[in-house]
Amino acid sequence: MSPRTITIAGYVVIGAAALLVELIARRPSSKIPRLSQLVSRVMHEKWGRVGMLLVWWWLGFHFLSRS
């Protein structure tokens, strides 16, 4: 396997895990917060907003920039 294939497989596994957690969180009796609730909670704090800005910057820098 090439490093590219391993990296893509890793992102697919992370995405599938996130989707699974979101589906579990949407059950009526679940105590796990949905993604929207988690982001809302994080955005209430100044450092949470800074952290979200850095996450968006990292994603944009790595996936949208050309080298």
Alpha helices per DSSP H over 26-45: 35-42
How confident is the model over 26-52, as pLDDT tens digits? 999 999 999 999 999 999 999 999 999
Residue 66 has pLDDT above 80, yes or no: no
Q: How crowded is residue 51: how many other Cβ atoms within 10 Å of its Cβ?
A: 13
Domain residues of the chain, as ranges? Answer: 1-31, 33-67
- Select the more confidently predicted residue: 30 or 67: 30
Q: What is the pTM of this model?
A: 0.69
Q: What is the mean pLDDT of residues 17-21?
A: 96
